[in-house]
């Protein structure tokens, strides 16, 4: 289903076209579809302390033949988890509420991305100061009126984010999948004055990002790709096409790709295939899934099956870790 967005206002753009026929990079000078808020007073209402306190921990009835809150019997057990606060997600017009899609923690700040389920494209980015663990503060909020934001990562003074938009309603987008780069000022605020760098690649929606020094790895779903960009100017260094990439992880020159149409694909840092591990789980359509390395193992989010733990060396599944849903 095609998502609908407001038609972009014709703006003056500075274009930088890469050597790839599939990817275009440009700097948006007008930023007509962005709403930036760096005012502390206006953002102060974004943090909610109403539900603060020790969380109940539930045991899985499949393993214990019962489901109950251990807090009732043992003050949340030996490993209590406390909810300090909740960040109210951005809303549009008071009725359209966004959903958090990813979080990246670096130093004193947490960077949160948001998207919108359904056919419309809306998204946002929050920066939250967590230097005082008992008093988180939202320091900056950027709302996208025409784009989902699905993942993000902070690196060396910049925030890199990926998402999707409706290319048919854009004068500049050559694909629905994009990556963007935003300057972050001291104090945890986004700076649009320096311009925002964008890059486009195949696929209906960019799904994940990994910044590795001077290179940026981005995946995109549904006839998409894994693309390596130069972190400075988004020049394309390498690109390989895949059917439906949902996530990637990087570890010691190894790249793990979660392909919803196949399973795990392990590549080297030049995107050459080293290993393939088929996975039979149904990863769903247009759903968030993640992958990560854990020492000599690979961890895969597999929806209703829980978390799959796989041996990197043999490719065998070691176990499923169930995720209880109350």
Sorted by where each starts, the structural domains of the chain and their CATH numbers stand as 1-41+89-242 (no CATH), 50-83 (no CATH), 251-326 (2.40.10)
DSSP character at residue 69? B
The pLDDT of residue 82 is 84
* Apex 257 CA angle, 255 and 261, nearest 5: 160
The pLDDT of residue 236 is 95
From CA 219, how far away is CA 153, in angstroms rounded? Answer: 14
From CA 3, how far away is CA 304, in angstroms rounded? Answer: 27
Average pLDDT along the chain, 326 residues, taken 10 residues at a time: 30 29 42 87 90 69 40 54 88 82 97 90 96 94 94 98 87 87 96 91 95 95 95 96 94 92 92 93 81 94 89 92 71
The pLDDT of residue 107 is 95
The pLDDT of residue 16 is 29
- Cα–Cα distance list, 253 to 48, 126, 160, 210, 248 (Å): 41, 31, 20, 12, 13
Tokens of 187: 């104090």
Helices (H), the chain: 40-43, 61-64, 71-74
Biggest distance spanned by C-alpha atoms of the chain: 64
Give me the residue label for tokens 């984010």. 161
> From the DSSP assignment, how many helices (H) and strands (E) are in the chain?
3, 30
- Cα–Cα distance list, 324 to 32, 116, 255, 306, 307 (Å): 43, 25, 30, 8, 11
Read off φ and ψ for residue 305, nearest 5 degrees: -80, -10
Give me the residue label for tokens 């209906």. 204
Tokens of 230: 């130069």
Q: Of 164, 135, 177, 157, which Cα lies nearest the Cα of 23?
A: 177
From CA 190, how far away is CA 177, in angstroms rounded? Answer: 22
Q: What pTM does this model have?
A: 0.83
Tokens of 289: 């899934």
The pLDDT of residue 31 is 64
DSSP string, 211-263: EETTEEEEEEESSEEEEEEETTT--EEEEEEES-EEEEEEETTEEEEEETTTE
Number of Cβ atoms within 10 Å of the Cβ of 80: 13
The pLDDT of residue 284 is 74
The pLDDT of residue 57 is 58
Read off φ and ψ for residue 243, nearest 5 degrees: -75, -45
Burial of residue 197 (number of CB atoms within 10 Å: 0-12, 13-18, 19+): buried
Give me the residue label for tokens 């990926």. 162
The pLDDT of residue 6 is 32
């Amino acid at each position: 289903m095609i998502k609908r967005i407001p038609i972009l206002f014709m703006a003056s753009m500075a274009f930088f076209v890469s050597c790839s026929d599939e990817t275009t990079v440009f700097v948006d000078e007008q930023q007509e579809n962005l709403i930036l808020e760096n005012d502390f007073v206006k953002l102060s209402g974004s943090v909610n302390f109403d539900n603060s306190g020790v969380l109940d921990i539930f045991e899985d009835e499949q393993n214990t033949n019962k489901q109950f809150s251990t807090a009732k019997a043992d003050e949340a057990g030996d490993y209590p988890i406390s909810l300090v606060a909740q960040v109210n997600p951005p809303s549009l017009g008071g009725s359209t509420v966004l959903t958090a899609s990813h979080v990246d923690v670096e130093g004193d700040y947490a960077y949160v991305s948001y998207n919108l389920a359904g056919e419309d494209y809306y998204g946002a980015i929050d920066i939250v100061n967590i230097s005082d663990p008992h008093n988180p503060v939202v320091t900056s909020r950027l709302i996208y009126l025409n784009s989902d934001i699905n993942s993000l990562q902070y690196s060396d003074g910049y925030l890199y984010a990926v998402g999707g938009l409706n290319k048919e309603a854009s004068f500049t987008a050559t694909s629905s999948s994009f990556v963007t780069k935003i300057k972050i000022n001291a104090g945890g605020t986004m700076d649009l004055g320096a311009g925002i760098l964008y890059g486009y690649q195949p696929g209906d929606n960019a799904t994940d990002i990994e910044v590795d020094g001077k290179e940026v790895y981005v995946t995109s779903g549904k006839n998409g790709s894994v693309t390596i960009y130069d972190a400075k100017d988004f020049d394309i260094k390498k690109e390989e096409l895949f059917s439906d990439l949902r996530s990637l992880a990087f570890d010691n020159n190894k790249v793990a790709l979660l392909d919803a149409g196949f399973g795990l694909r392990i590549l080297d840092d030049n995107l050459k295939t080293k290993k393939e591990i088929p996975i039979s789980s149904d990863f769903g359509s247009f759903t968030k899934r993640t992958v990560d390395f854990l020492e000599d193992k690979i961890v895969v989010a597999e929806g209703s099956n829980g978390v799959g733990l796989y041996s990197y060396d043999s490719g065998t599944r070691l176990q499923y870790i169930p995720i209880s849903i109350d």
